[in-house]
Structure 1
């Protein structure tokens, strides 16, 4: 017999959600076959078979939240595989036990703890630590009834412990508890169409991180605008030759990445992070590039971007964006960035205030290029391709004057692309 266990997924990931089972009870599998897909806070991970055999049991269903190291199924040999079917009360064919096996698990738990109220169907969507879930199962506590003292709403072990006494004292009154969420959550207006959707694990994590960034950082945003005439001229003259030589397009992101690196070298506190009462100033430039994927925004990282050419930066960004949209990014692709660039202009945004990607203390927002009349001197006006740029920064370690000068440096480097060869 061999247990199917949730693998280690990086030090910051302790649980995930089973998004899809690729096998059912009775299926034969070989070493390396994909058994299930696991959705985590950052990436999706495939769980593969570590030995050949027959799937004997599936202990957790799609949509269940599982912890690292937890057993979610069993693979056995040919003889072992027949045991679940033989033990079943009905003589159901081997191809059909998938749903019964999963469904029979849950009544068994309820039967062993008659004093506990049945868990709500929404319990799996509650944000809670693995330790809290374990303690709740042991004490027969419904997670939907537990009040969290965490600012982000995550239920912790101490919340379960504090709730335990009250639950034990009020067991008879726990039966109608499933109606409480309906009373607290307003329903749609009668007769009006509405759809209730469960948030994906990634979307929940994005929401929490954004709120956390706003709660923990003294975040401010400063703005400027860039005349994109020179960059557009370079791209017009060099685009075809660049494509033929490097087999990649000459986009805007390589210019902005180089300009950001030049400004970070001049103002290193924008390339730092706060650790307790210390400031860690990073002397390397791993630039995060925000990419919109199907399940939400992800920020893969271009490593050592200061050492890369324009073509290498464009290729790296293209590869990472492709992985993001195919949902094949690894943890190493997402961890450890020092500064982030996000481009709302691809969706038509004219101006925005980007939120920090904690623990970073700076993020640059690009926007739509728009033709606007610009004063060239006291007597002349010209229509120029202009872009608003925004820098959000953590005022705890970055002063306003420093942030403004950083953004001015980015502007000056972009308006004089040749300087990028020297400064970027």
Structure 2
């Protein structure tokens, strides 16, 4: 009997959720066949069988959380397909006795109980602990803000159950089943996907671990828009892609990072790791949540190369085709809330990075020019969130001013890029 274990997925991924079993008990599988799909915090991955044989047992059902190394199924290398599922040659003709009917009903009840347990978000260790103590996971009140049950929650429930009944007992039951008492009117409860849980966890973690601060500025995009208008037809004819705003902002960010390298760093223990490469993450909104694919070596790409990479990564994100290599290792992030009409925001750091630039909506505003005349200009607010632990306010402000300068004089930027 060969055990199916969750394989090593990637350096930063240690757990996942069973999204779908691609085979069922009794199916014949060949070595290398995909047998189960795992949803991780970044991408969905297929687990392939290491042996040929027959799937005899599914240990972890769909929707259950698992960790690297966990046993999720078993394969009989000498088994015959459908052996356990085949019907007996002769079906019994007599009606079962009342006692037998009761015994047949018992597995169905047990199966329903198991299904309800799998609906609970819990770590494998918590599930094991609950089985050892005979605790129903649905009765456990998690302390995790994301609602995940952990072993200590199971222990707390077991301890409370062993204590004498008191006046506080009803309050605990009420906390464990908020859906029965929390609302007087209809609600819909939808389990968060692993990706959404991870997004929530990491955003909270970024706010709790970094000394995050945001500084603002505004940029006049008159020259960028003029340049795009002048070059857009020739650019498309020559390169096959449109000349958008993102390439200007990406190249401006790279130029500013070269002048202020601490914004291209990260903290590891008591050391600063100052990166000498420029892998720029571009935040992309998808139906499953925000993802940040990375434009590699943006300093070595021309404007067409940046636009082509952003377009390709955006398509892969929307089609759920991003791989782990597309998402790992960014050194700085750009997010464009302006595509949804945002006028101003304070973006949250994409840890362990220490800087993120927020773009916003372009609005025509009356601006006082150096000669005291008033002109209507296309203006955009920029927001730079940074980790104050290693980036001082002076550097952050100067970085943003440098981005502004490069965007307001884009002709040199385009030539240098």
Tell me which interval the TM-score lies in, with the shorter structure as reference length: 0.7 to 0.9
Kindly indicate whether the alpha-carbon contact (under 8 Å) linking 1:391 and 1:407 is maintained by their aligned counterparts in 2.
yes
- Residue 264 of structure 2 is matched in structure 1 by 271
- Residue 40 of structure 1 is matched in structure 2 by 40
Kindly indicate whether the alpha-carbon contact (under 8 Å) linking 1:141 and 1:167 is maintained by their aligned counterparts in 2.
no
Matched length: 401
Between 28-37 and 240-249, report the one with greater CA deviation. 28-37
Distance 1:263 1:186 in 2: 54
1:242 aligns with 2:235: yes
Kindly indicate whether the alpha-carbon contact (under 8 Å) linking 1:225 and 1:387 is maintained by their aligned counterparts in 2.
yes
1:60 aligns with 2:60: yes
Kindly indicate whether the alpha-carbon contact (under 8 Å) linking 2:28 and 2:81 is maintained by their aligned counterparts in 1.
no
Using the TM superposition, give the Cα deviation of residue 29 of structure 1 relative to its aligned residue in structure 2, in angstroms.
4.1
Kindly indicate whether the alpha-carbon contact (under 8 Å) linking 2:174 and 2:181 is maintained by their aligned counterparts in 1.
no
Using the TM superposition, give the Cα deviation of residue 32 of structure 1 relative to its aligned residue in structure 2, in angstroms.
4.2
State the SS of the aligned residue for 1:81: coil
Kindly indicate whether the alpha-carbon contact (under 8 Å) linking 2:362 and 2:379 is maintained by their aligned counterparts in 1.
yes
How do 1:193-204 and structure 2 match up within 5 A? 193-204=186-197
Per the alignment, do residues 126 and 79 of structure 1 end up closer, same or farther by CA in structure 2, a change over 3 Å counting?
closer
- Residue 220 of structure 2 is matched in structure 1 by 227
Q: Deviations over 1:132-191 (max 9, x none)?
A: 54444444445556676778776655x2696487268359999x987652248754333x
Output the aligned Cα RMSD: 3.5
Distance 1:65 1:207 in 2: 17
1:363 aligns with 2:356: yes
- Residue 405 of structure 1 is matched in structure 2 by 398
Distance 2:308 2:356 in 1: 22
Kindly indicate whether the alpha-carbon contact (under 8 Å) linking 1:286 and 1:304 is maintained by their aligned counterparts in 2.
yes
Of the three residues 339, 344, 352, the one matched with 1:351 is 344
Kindly indicate whether the alpha-carbon contact (under 8 Å) linking 1:285 and 1:338 is maintained by their aligned counterparts in 2.
yes
1:336 aligns with 2:329: yes
Distance 2:272 2:89 in 1: 64
Kindly indicate whether the alpha-carbon contact (under 8 Å) linking 1:119 and 1:142 is maintained by their aligned counterparts in 2.
no
Q: Deviations over 1:238-297 (max 9, x none)?
A: 112222222222111111111001111111111111222222211111111111111100
Kindly indicate whether the alpha-carbon contact (under 8 Å) linking 1:262 and 1:423 is maintained by their aligned counterparts in 2.
no
Between 57-66 and 39-48, report the one with greater CA deviation. 57-66
Distance 1:404 1:293 in 2: 31
Distance 1:88 1:50 in 2: 31
How do 1:181-330 and structure 2 match up within 5 A? 181-183=176-178, 186-190=181-185, 193-330=186-323
Kindly indicate whether the alpha-carbon contact (under 8 Å) linking 2:232 and 2:243 is maintained by their aligned counterparts in 1.
yes
Distance 2:194 2:108 in 1: 24
Per the alignment, do residues 323 and 89 of structure 1 end up closer, same or farther by CA in structure 2, a change over 3 Å counting?
farther
Kindly indicate whether the alpha-carbon contact (under 8 Å) linking 2:221 and 2:379 is maintained by their aligned counterparts in 1.
yes
Using the TM superposition, give the Cα deviation of residue 61 of structure 1 relative to its aligned residue in structure 2, in angstroms.
2.3
How do 1:29-178 and structure 2 match up within 5 A? 29-76=29-76, 79-85=79-85, 107=110, 121=116, 125-128=120-123, 130-143=124-137, 159=152, 163=156, 166=159, 169-170=162-163
Distance 2:11 2:128 in 1: 20
Kindly indicate whether the alpha-carbon contact (under 8 Å) linking 1:363 and 1:391 is maintained by their aligned counterparts in 2.
yes
Per the alignment, do residues 186 and 390 of structure 1 end up closer, same or farther by CA in structure 2, a change over 3 Å counting?
farther
- Residue 102 of structure 2 is matched in structure 1 by none
Kindly indicate whether the alpha-carbon contact (under 8 Å) linking 1:18 and 1:61 is maintained by their aligned counterparts in 2.
yes
Using the TM superposition, give the Cα deviation of residue 386 of structure 1 relative to its aligned residue in structure 2, in angstroms.
1.1
Distance 2:91 2:303 in 1: 66
1:18 aligns with 2:11: no
Q: Deviations over 1:217-258 (max 9, x none)?
A: 111111111111111111112112222222222111111111
Kindly indicate whether the alpha-carbon contact (under 8 Å) linking 2:141 and 2:176 is maintained by their aligned counterparts in 1.
no
How do 1:367-406 and structure 2 match up within 5 A? 367-406=360-399
Which sections of structure 2, spanning at least 5 residues, go unmatched? 93-105
Using the TM superposition, give the Cα deviation of residue 394 of structure 1 relative to its aligned residue in structure 2, in angstroms.
1.0
- Residue 99 of structure 1 is matched in structure 2 by none
